[in-house]
Structure 1
Amino acid sequence: MVKVKLPNSYFEDLGDSIRLVWRRTLYADFDRKLIEKSIKRKFKTKTNVSVEDGYLVVDVEHPEVENFLNFLISSHLGEFLKSRYTERKVIYIHEGMDVPLLGYNAFGLIDRGTNLIQVRGVSGCNLSCIFCSVDEGPYSRTRRFDYVVDVDYLLKWFKDVAKIKGKGLEAHIDGQGEPLIYPFIVELVQGLKDMREVDVVSIQTNATLLDDKLVEELAEAGLDRANVSIHSLDPEKAKMIMGKKDYDLEHVLDMIEAMINAGIDVLIAPVIIFGLNDDEAEDMIEFARKVGAGKRWPALGFQNYIPYKFGRKPTIAKLVSFRDFYAWLRGLEEKTGMKPLVLKPKHFGMHKRKFIPLSFRIGEVVKVKIVLPGRIEGEMLGVARDRLIEIINTNAKVGDTIKVKIVRTKHGIYIGTPVK
């Protein structure tokens, strides 16, 4: 009998299939009979495959069975890889694919002309918030794929960007979804913190996937601040806003306190939907005071809900102009004494920095090689001049070379449309 277990993973028995759970966030299902047939073909012996205590168990004695299964599963992992939280197929991006990590919104790095660099190692979310600007989460109707970027490849690109941007950087881990579903989150924080150009490592999170062990690991790795998305202190209302019936508000509040106790500063970051949760603002301020949020940075970062083209739009929402929103915040400052609530870049040590030079100009026609499918129907990703370009309204396929007209270059995010 041979027992097989891959690093950072365990197996589950699903009956007709065997599931490999890798780094708690990803999985791949393998047909049990196909595994047994592969062993029979290779070793000329009939066998049964089962799962025991997270191990894959094979009832055959042969010194090479373990190596064979390791190779078999590893070589097909990318083909079957899915997210445990969205159930979508995952495209794993690594150095061997030669996919640039500048130019696209959903993964990689984003430079908006300051000393803060956005770091996006993963797309996808475990929640389906009713106001989500990118229609993320398990109930998304538009997202086709998720991406995961290999941590060494992501750090390599960040290091190159940091050399251009200079010292005193904040590496802000965020994304189109929940960054804690990234399978290498601790390694990413540690790698960023170890760079001499980086002073601050921060993260945007809904905190639902935290536990005491992960909080401690993130603190030890050097996480400085967590911006926590919490939109109601009422458990039932919070479930409705977060779009999940099993959303555990009490757990999130406990994890906020755990982070603060571990030395990670916390900024409470509610999205205010007027007519739904604006009446809870003072309670949120009191909660932030009670737990000791905002020791080094502001304790709260209220955000005004605004609808987006591809986002979800709660019918109950009363849209409020930013002028009125800031007036509302100033009123809260006066009433509660909590300042600042009207936040400015200086409150986070942010300042303008020279942009990474743009690779394209608007209106330019560029020959692009299609390398990946995009996240929504009619979208593909192409490469030119060591940058990614999101190509919209296209029926091109991976491997095609097409001409596109650049229609957007803002903040180094490139969008193009096909031309003949």
Structure 2
Amino acid sequence: MDRLPAPARQLLTGRCSSFLTMAHIRITEASGIPLLGSLYFGIIDRGTNILQVRPSCGCNLNCPFCSVDAGPESKTRATSYEVEMEYLLGAVEEIARFKGEGVECHIDSPGEPLMYHRLPELVAGLRGIDCVSTISLQTNGTLLDEAKIAALESAGLDRINFSLHALDPAIARVLAGVDWFDIDQVTEAARTVARSRIDLLIAPVYIPGINDAEIPRLIRFAQECGAGKRFPPLGIQKFEHYRYGRSPKGVKAQSWWQFFNRSIKPWEEESGLVLRLDAKRDFGTVRRPFVPLAFSKGEKVTVEIRAPGWIHGEMLGVARNRVVSVYNCEKESGQVRVKIVSTKHNIYTGMPV
């Protein structure tokens, strides 16, 4: 422990040990809960040819920099969600048809997507949708083994974005937030992915003062293991503070100028790799029309409460075939009049009026 950076030692000694019992909601077509409108599950459309596909939201890690405070030691999460696969595929097919040819389905989650027990079937189902050309997956890698990688490969998965933040075993455990984290198992899974037909992209979050020395090691690891056959080998992410997330004590987020000029640029010069990624050049991302908004900001609408929200004090309402996250909601059923406060990316939030 003495050899860890000081901020990492603080994380290790300051770990939370409280656990919350979460409600688990299974979202089916019969549930009456739509798959557009929520940040937590379903489909997110950000106005490009990429659709974020979120089949569930559980997580097995307690990363101290988690943007959404997910994991078994979460202080704020009240509910987990799991979407019926057939229901999800039907919604993706409809939206992909609206988007047109060349859609990428990126399977992610505010947690760990591999906790979805029908993931290979989901990938195979997405592969069968005419307008879908690329299927990618975000994962922390802890649940990957040879059998699962082979199943995902056979199903037609194109790329895995591997959330790997350190190679030093002690720092890696701290950044995973669990004592059982095994860096050898995770790196072996990454190598197995690289040997398969699935492309591997190493996607660390750079946390200033904690994993500075680890990023160059991860760059070399990506080069050595054969990442990036068709896509870039690395996608280094900038640490940010989020309202409902976790932030390591004493860590300050960089500006984008600092991130690119003081961090990315020196790593590029040292490695000889292009680390500042371009969405269009590197991933074929292009603008596409948004699914039309169902509400306008400031509009008042009546929603039907259908399920508890993801955080305490939140409920999920439904109106116009969209989910609306209603904050500070005291009603657990029935109708609530709300004012829409945000509609960005077809994600709707409201407050009771």
Normalised TM-score (structure 2): 0.92
Matched position secondary structure for 1:278: coil
Partner of 1:209: 143
Q: 1:179 aligned to 2:179? A: no
Give distance in 2, aligned partners of 1:372 and 1:216: 36
- Name the aligned partner's letter for residue 149 of structure 2: V
Q: Deviations over 1:21-60 (max 9, x none)?
A: xxxxxxxxxxxxxxxxxxxxxxxxxxxxxxxxxxxxxxxx
The answer on whether the counterparts of 2:21 and 2:78 sit within 8 Å (CA) in structure 1 is no
Q: What's the counterpart of residue 300 of structure 2? A: 365
Paired residue type of 2:217:
D
The Cα shift of 1:331 comes to 2.0
Is structure 2 residue 220 aligned with structure 1 residue 304? no
C-alpha distance after superposition, 1:96-115 (max 9, x if no partner): 11210000000000000000
Please name the residue that 1:154 is paired with: 88
- 2:175 equivalent to 1:251: no
What does residue 285 of structure 2 align with?
350
Correspondent of 1:287 among 221, 230, 234: 221
Q: CA deviation at 1:89?
A: 3.0
> Aligned AA for 1:391?
V
Is the 1:86–1:124 Cα contact (8 Å) retained in structure 2?
Answer: no
| Counterpart residue type for residue 392 of structure 1 | Y
Q: Deviations over 1:154-187 (max 9, x none)?
A: 0011111111111100000001110000111011
For residue 4 of structure 2, what is the aligned residue in structure 1?
none
- Name which of 33, 43, 52 aligns with 1:99: 33
Tell me, which stretches of 5 or more residues in structure 1 are unaligned? Answer: 1-84
1:189–1:201 Cα contact (<8 Å) kept: yes
- Return the index of the structure with the highest Cα Rg: 1
In 2, Cα distance between equivalents of 1:129 and 1:316: 16
State the shift of 1:116 in Å: 0.2
Q: Which amino acid aligns with 1:354?
A: P
Task: State the alpha-carbon separation in 2 of the partners of residues 268 and 395 from structure 1.
Answer: 43
**What is the Cα deviation at residue 377 of structure 1?**
1.3
The answer for the alignment partner of 2:7 in structure 1 is none
The correspondence for 1:242, drawn from 172, 176, 186, is: 176
Structure 2 alignment gaps of length 5 or more: 1-18
Shift, 1:276, TM fit: 0.6
Percent identity of the aligned residues? 47
- In 2, Cα distance between equivalents of 1:98 and 1:374: 15
Distance in 2, Cα, partners of 1:131 & 1:204: 17
Root-mean-square deviation (CA, aligned residues, Å) is: 1.2
Q: 1:326 aligns with which of 226, 250, 260?
A: 260
Cα deviation code 1:166-209 (max 9, x no counterpart): 11000000011100001110111000011110000000000100
CA contact (8 A) 1:370 1:397 kept: yes
Does 2:324 match 1:382? Answer: no
The structure whose RCO (Cα within 8 Å, separation 6+) is larger is: 2
State the SS of the aligned residue for 2:339: strand
- CA deviations on 1:344-402 (whole Å, 9 max, x unpaired) are 1111110100111001000101111111110111100011111110001110112x111
1:336 Cα deviation after fit: 1.3
Distance 1:256 1:91 in 2: 32
Deviations 1:228-254 (A, max 9, x none): 001101011100111000001111100
Structure 2 contact 20–78 (Cα < 8 Å) conserved: no
Tell me the alpha carbon deviations over residues 136-155 of structure 1, each in whole angstroms, 9 at most, x when there is no partner.
Answer: 00110111111000000000
Distance, in Å, in 2 between the alignment partners of 1:394 and 1:404 is 10
Q: Residues 86 and 137 of structure 1 are in contact (CA less than 8 Å); yes or no, is this contact kept in structure 2?
A: no
SS for the counterpart of 1:158 is helix
